[in-house]
Structure 1
């Protein structure tokens, strides 16, 4: 079984946003002109052998780029293959908490994702803390981005130390998933992951052959590593992301934890 921990089934307004221009340039693609049918995303999962994909809503200061209800409608078209990840508007903390509660209790979403660079606020900002408490109460993980920012926004908010480290100290019960491996601070991210039992890493936005050496060492040397597979689809397809997997030198237990075991535990799949 393979679970993709970070995907998007994006709307045109999200995929054509100017902040993503750098990603389209790097991948040599162009954003779609029309809404993408859900079977296109499922087809890409099939081509890469992915069984379940977690697709995320996106909320920023300008509002919903991919709304929670849109994500729910996508999941409803392929409920055995897709699972929803909520996002919220940080400007209205109580409404954000209520929306998270609705997404988990009524829509069946598996997690909350807030991308700090989109708000230009680190995850230690006071506006995040009511959401962390609610995640603990609901039993869902907080997913975020670590490392430099590929889109056209500042990168400082993606530092694992001090930000993720401090959140994990303040909320030891909170399960945290840092997406995008943390580069160029991957060693920091691995250190935070080793330090805190509820902190995980996902490999979204990176192909296997671009994983930093320190991440590969952690995965290969520790069969109880807390790294899970992700793509950041549609920027990278699962098939392309997994090419060269055998070259990592993972034993059977480490490979299973990476491809599905950690995600099954974290997202209760």
Structure 2
């Protein structure tokens, strides 16, 4: 157990160093997000101005803006870009070297990306959280919700990893996943609440989305952090975290079975 933990720690450290090596890309992402958030601000300001009311679907303009700013920061923190990397490895033949390592490909990928996620947390999400907390002056409650938020984010990371791995496995069949990955990104960002808060969805659609894994990636952690209605009681928290845990297990089983079955037919163009 100690030796295994040492290997995982080493892989996470490699991920951290890799992220530090490409610092410019991080700043480019931050700059791009500032432009995106500027557009989001004026878009939703226009929506609320045209609605004729200060509250839409139970959310004020400030509620919506804070939610979307934190959702964007959480996206930068959780995003892995694993599909692109595996697709390139298959096309170049580099994936063979990773498969020959004395560790399962799944474990190697997860802990390597985990190190990168640690760095993006400190470079993107934490600064955003601090700024929002300072500007809103107590809007975000500092209590047990922060602990539950951390637990929720860890499970969101696992869910997001397994969704990416399932899509990445399709690379073994198609060798190119640009279109498939774009569809996946659109579905996840839309149904997770990262682009539009789920409170704005029609009631029937919102009820369906509640039980899908995508909500567990962004909407659930953010609602726990911001203590939205239904996430402040023990029953509500237990349901939200229990649903996340269930999807962690389900997606882990699916992604592992799909990968183990598909890896038997791997073909590469290079190497």
Structure holding more strand per residue: 1
Larger Rg: 2
- TM-score of the aligned structures, taking structure 2 as reference length: 0.32
- TM-score of the aligned structures, taking structure 1 as reference length: 0.32
Structure holding more helix per residue: 2
